[in-house]
Structures are given as C-alpha cells and as structure tokens.
Amino acid sequence: MDEDTLIAEKVAEARAAVEENEADCWLTFARETTEIAEPCLPFLLGFDVVWPTAVIVTPERSVAILGRHDAPNAEALGVHDVRPYDESIESDLVETVDEIDPDAIAVNVSEDDTVADGLTHGMYRRLQELLDGTGYEDAFVSAEDVVARVRGRKSETEYGRIETAAAETERLLAEAVDAWTPETTETEFSEFLHERMREADYGSAWSWDYCPTVHAGGAAPVGHTLPGERTVPPGEVLHVDFGVTVEEYAADIQRLYYRPREDGEGIPDGLQAAYEDVRAAIDAGAAVLEPGAVGHAVDAAARAELTDRGWPAFQHAFGHQVGRNAHDGGTLLGPQWDRYGDLPDREVAVDEVYTMELGVETEWGYLGQEEMVRITEDGHEFVVDPQTELRRLSP
C-alpha cells in the first residue's frame, strides 16, 4: 500500500535524522489528533489516535506506545515495535525510555516552526509528570532539526504526490479559464473550481472558502479575501491563488490572466512593465536558490530586485516549503522579521520543495505570481512549468 511505503520511507529518514542529531531519541507525544493534529504523526503512524500516544525513534528502531484499540493499525505498518496499553501509558513509556537511557530526548517544541511544535503545553507538563523521578524529565531538547529533515526532504512517494497536486491545480485552473466569460464573478470562478475539486475528490491546500483566492481587476481588495460579486473589467487582470491536495499533499500556485480590452488594443504598457518587474524579481530569487543558500538571502535577492525597480517591498516571505501543508514549515525564504523567528536563518537542502512568490498592486489588479520548485543537487527544478507571460482570458 502506498501509504505504508510512505511511512516506511519517512521512519527511515527519521532514524537517520536522529543518528546525526545531538539527541539520543525523538519522542512524539499526542492525543485526540482529530481535534489538535500532531504534525509529525502522519509521517510516523498515518492514522488518528484518541488516547495519549508516544512514538519514540532511535537510530536503530522505533517504538509506538498507544491505546489497545489503535494497536492493530500500528502493527499493520510493520515498522514499529508496538506496545498497546489499556488504562495508562505510564509503565510502557517509562520502560521504553529506560531501555534507551537517553542523555537528551528531542520533543516537538519550537517557538518558530509550527510543524515542529506539536506538543501542547498541557501535554508537555504531563510528559514531565509521567517521567518524574526517572531522571529523564529534564532531558528534553527541541526536535526542530529532526523534524525539519523528516518533513522537508521529500521522499519519492511524497514528491510524486506533490507533482500530481501541482499538475492538477494547473489543469483545473485551465478548465476554469476555459469556462470563463465576461459575466463570471469571483464567486462563480471559485465555485467552478470547488465543483471540480469535489468531483475529483481533491482537498484544498488551505481553508476551503479561501482556496482559491480570486481577485478580479484593480478594484478588488488585496489579501486573503473571500470571493465577491466582482467581474474582471476589460483591460484588467484576474489573479488566482490556488492549490489542491492529492493524497494529503498540497500545491500552492498563483496565476495571472489578462482580459483584453474591447477596442482590440494590446496589454497596456504600464501593466506589461509591471508584470515584467514581478517576473524579474522572481527570477532574481531563483538565481540564488540552491542547497546551502540561507533563507533570508534568497528573499533579499528577490526583494531588492523589486524595490530597485521602484515597487514597495512585499509584506510576506518570498517563499515557503510545501508538503502536507501549503505552509510546510522549516527553512523559510523570508526576511528576518520577528514573526518569522529563526526560520529565515536556516539553510535550503536537497529534496525540499519551495514556493517563490511575490506581487505588486496596480490599477489593473494585483499582479501576484507563485511558482513551485524542488531543490536539486545543483540548484532547483520547477514542479510544473512556470508562468512566463500574462495569459489571455477569452470568452
């Protein structure tokens, strides 16, 4: 089964990540994951749990301690030593940690990286209490580096899903544009895509109501907005930010479409120039995006190109990783702003998948473009073909 393959790939990656880490084991601790997801569990178990559950990974093996009802699903994976419990996780947890006897236990705590911060404060306290008196209750360190590697470096199975999600995002966009007429409102454009997503059983890469985000023309407010009753005026631009999920993996793409004027005139010079500035800034970031690049340096290259061309700086990061989530955590191609913590200070690594995105506000509409790339040994490759010109809308 495809899902079992994926989990086997990621658990192997996790063992290697622990091997190269200062900690002796990586402990993921969670409960009721349909209510509060533990972002690492999909790589370790692949199913939701109800009772407190621990998965402990060392360089040699992994142990899953979970409620008896969930145990058969863990057994079926064939990758973990499974320890089912009935009333309390305590004895199995303490025995397992005792066997490992770690100097440092990596736990999912991170001020800066959401996907490495799945341990709630209540569960952190509970973990300390469970290990109270063992000597291990003060051995916790952050698993940020382990999580960044496990989640960031995409396995073949994962990358296949991301490629499919990106290709399907482009395909559905092409269908929506084919069906477009001058009377199509933002809401109707969005509903067309939602209908196609339902038919194909695809999820949305972010909140359903905001995916796609659709901006019709220069009068549309910029940002994460709900679609409205606006249509694209002649001579203006339709901006779409969209991504489907396929088998739990996301795409995140922004595309731009120009509605020709009724007098047959071409694209206004100012619009064409602004679009070329957007593309040049993306290209400038792309030029330095390779293994070992530091996140904020990539952002700065794109940002400087845009501001040098006279535009205001964009108020977001140039690029983020994509995987199970459209914002997948880890190294961020962003400025060193407080709200990004240390993510922009981290390095880009092979097999990570990033967006490259920016935009400018113009009288013709918001010109935002977003591409997806995979990091290769010597640079990067596009997941799907990038947009290289303003696409034309035709009724």
Q: How far is the CB of 371 from its own copies (least distance, A)?
A: 19
Nearest distance from C-beta of residue 1 to its own copies, angstroms: 11
Spatial separation of the C-alpha atoms in residues 355 and 368, rounded to whole Å: 13
Minimum CB–partner distance for residue 134 and its own copies (Å): 17
Residue 337: CB minimum distance to its own copies, A: 5
- Report d(CA 312, CA 381) in Å as an integer: 28
Smallest distance from the beta carbon of 329 to its own copies, in angstroms?
Answer: 7
Q: Which residues lie closer than 8 Å to 301 by C-beta, 6 or more apart?
A: 284, 285, 287, 288
Cα–Cα distance between 88 and 66 in angstroms, integer? 10
- Pairing state between β 81-85 and 62-67: parallel
Residue written as tokens 């001020």?
A: 111
- Spatial strand order of the sheet with 203-204 comes to 203-204, 244-246, 249-250
Q: Give the residue with the Cβ less far from its own copies, 123 or 333.
A: 123
Q: Rg for the chain (alpha carbons), in Å? A: 23
- The helix or strand, by DSSP H or E, that contains position 31, with its residue range, turns out to be none
* Residue 116 or 166 with smaller CB distance to its own copies: 116
- Residue closer to its own copies by CB (options 33, 58) is 33
Nearer to its own copies, 62 or 142 (CB): 142
Q: Residue 24 corresponds to which tokens in the numbers above?
A: 């002796």
Q: Which is nearer to its own copies, 86 or 262 (CB)?
A: 86
53 or 369: CB nearest its own copies: 53
Chain residues binding its own copies by CB under 8 A are 31-32, 34-37, 39, 47-48, 50-52, 67-70, 72-73, 86-90, 109-126, 129, 198, 201, 206-207, 209-210, 221, 223-226, 315-316, 325-327, 329, 337-339
Q: How far is the CB of 335 from its own copies (least distance, A)?
A: 9
Comparing CB distances to its own copies, the nearer of 18 and 143 is 143
**DSSP per-residue codes, 325-342:** SSS--SS-BS---GGGTT
Quote the CA–CA distance of 348 and 360 in Å, as a whole number: 26
What is the smallest separation between the CB atom of 348 and its own copies, expressed in angstroms?
20
β-pairing, 244-246 with 203-204? Answer: antiparallel
Show Cβ contacts of residue 94 under 8 Å, excluding neighbours closer than 6 positions: 130, 131, 134
Token pair 């606006």 is found at 230
CA dihedral 166, 171, 172, 175 (to 10 degrees): 160
Instruction: In angstroms, give the least distance from the CB of 45 to its own copies.
Output: 11
Minimum gap (Å) between residue 231 Cβ and its own copies: 20
Measured distance CA(251)–CA(271) in Å, rounded: 27
> 283 vs 342, which CB is nearer to its own copies?
342
Nearest residue (CB) to its own copies, 205 versus 267: 205
